[in-house]
Amino acid sequence: DAPKYPFGEYGVNKLAIERYLTGGQDRVRASVVHPGHISGPGWMPIGPAGNLDPAVIDALRADGSCLLPDRGGETIHHVHAEDVARLHQACLENPDAAEGQSFNSVCTQALTLRGYAELVARHFGKEPRLSFLPWAEWAARTGPEDADTTLEHIGRAPLFSMEKARTVLGFVPLHGVEDTVLEAIDAWVAAHRS
């Protein structure tokens, strides 16, 4: 319900679609679900550096090391794919309450980059060994593609509430953020690393 002030083509287009679906007469009955960083077994989740670089997970598994931008305090907000599907189902099962509404679909907690890296290192039995560089230095070392992906995620530092879905639809996510990201990482490691 908060006012939205998107930036970038992606965000601006998402808001235009939402307004189109929820804002007028002569439209189909619609609800909008805004998922966070969708995660689950079968693909690499947005990782502790805010991108999809598997080397970040490999280093955390090997020795707990991770290089992060700035101080690692930016947030990213995951959601388990099953909970995204369940929220869609809740909208379908409660059409009168859901019609014309938009709902966040995220875990009830977000992670900072630093907290995420520490979680992954400890999950693999390693003591976290984090280091930090100012953004420009980190981006130069990381490379343009991964740096751009990171900036797309941490530039918004998302932190969303599931309160509206709980109040309007009685919906509560089944999956916590730690279980969501670790399940996805474990499945990815099992499929791609020996």
**pLDDT tens digits, 46-92:** 999 999 999 999 999 999 999 999 999 999 999 999 999 999 999 99
Judge residue 35's burial from the number of C-beta atoms within 10 Å of its C-beta, 0-12 exposed, 13-18 middle, 19 or more buried.
buried
What's 156's DSSP letter?
Answer: T
Confidence of residue 37 (pLDDT cuts 50, 70, 90): very high
Q: What is the pLDDT of residue 24?
A: 66
130-180 pLDDT per residue, tens: 999 999 999 999 999 999 999 999 987 888 999 999 999 999 999 999 999
- What pLDDT does residue 26 have? 67
pLDDT beyond 80 at 194: no
* C-alpha closest to that of 116 among 150, 168, 186, 66: 66
